[in-house]
Amino acid sequence: MHRRNALQTLIAGAFATGAVTLLAGCKPTPIKFEGVDITGAEYGKDFPLPDAKGQRRSVKDFAGQVVVVFFGYTQCPDVCPTTLQELVEAKALLGAQGERLQGVFVSLDPDRDTPEVLRAYAEAFDPRMVALTGSKDDIAAVAKDFKVFFKKVEGRQPGSYTLDHSAGLYLYDPQGRLRVYHRYGQGAQALAKDAKALLDETAAA
């Protein structure tokens, strides 16, 4: 009797171990991103600002796409145009999947970035790019939620100024979850690789 109980216990233990191993084998392998993995971040949940046409937008508007959010301003001399061009190049690198990479440009300079100016600027890079603006208070609130720093720097000429600002990209997966942060200058190939990983992850789910 003792031998039978011992055998049953051994078989039950082996079955449990096998089941755990099987479940572990079914667990998807975490993505190794080129950027910083911020999956589960409690900040940057959404960007509730109006676009250049006055329509309030949300990450939910772009379900099924990888959304890339960047904060800047149209008169930025270097960082902004360089970064937006990288986004354009990343879409090209993705081929057919590039149609599911959505750029969102948030202006930090509502005084000069009128809806007309902002729309023309964004669409000059990509006709499908969405540009967001709003009141100074609303923009400041969204920037704060994304931990984006920006500061007005007076220029040499009266009334002229530039903006010092954080220069990074925020990537949302097709389910609208913030997943990856790219530092300035990581390049189009790194951006395309992480966007593809997020798109493929959804397809495999």
Query: pLDDT tens digits for 92-149?
Result: 999 999 999 999 999 999 999 999 999 999 999 999 999 999 999 999 999 999 999 9
Query: pLDDT tens digits for 164-180?
Result: 999 999 999 999 999 99
Written as one letter, the residue type at 142 is V
| Residue 26 is labelled as binding a ligand | no
* Of 66, 65, 83, residue with least CA distance to 74: 83
Please tell me the distance from the alpha carbon of residue 20 to that of residue 135, in angstroms, as a whole number.
54
Whether residue 129 contacts residue 105, with contact meaning beta carbons closer than 8 Å, is answered with yes
Helical segments of 38-98, H only: 79-93
Query: pLDDT tens digits for 3-51?
Result: 444 434 433 443 344 444 444 455 567 889 999 999 999 999 999 999 9
Please tell me the distance from the alpha carbon of residue 107 to that of residue 12, in angstroms, as a whole number.
62
Q: Residue 158: which pLDDT band, with cuts at 50, 70 and 90? A: confident
* Of 39, 52, 134, 124, residue with least CA distance to 81: 124
Please tell me the distance from the alpha carbon of residue 105 to that of residue 97, in angstroms, as a whole number.
20
pLDDT of residue 106: 98
pLDDT of residue 118: 96
57 pLDDT higher than 70:
yes
Place of tokens 């970064």: 83
Please tell me the distance from the alpha carbon of residue 4 to that of residue 2, in angstroms, as a whole number.
5
pLDDT of residue 27: 57
* Pairing relationship of beta strands 101-107 and 130-132 according to DSSP bridges: parallel
Q: Read off φ and ψ for residue 121, nearest 5 degrees.
A: -65, -50
Q: Residue 196: which pLDDT band, with cuts at 50, 70 and 90? A: very high
Where exactly are the structural domains of the chain? 1-30, 36-204
CATH classification code of 36-204: 3.40.30.10
pLDDT of residue 204: 80
Q: What share of the chain is helix, strand, coil (3-state, %, to 5)?
A: 45, 20, 35
Q: What is the DSSP letter of 29?
A: P
Whether residue 105 contacts residue 47, with contact meaning beta carbons closer than 8 Å, is answered with no
Q: Taking the CB of residue 181, how many other CB atoms lie within 10 A of it?
A: 19
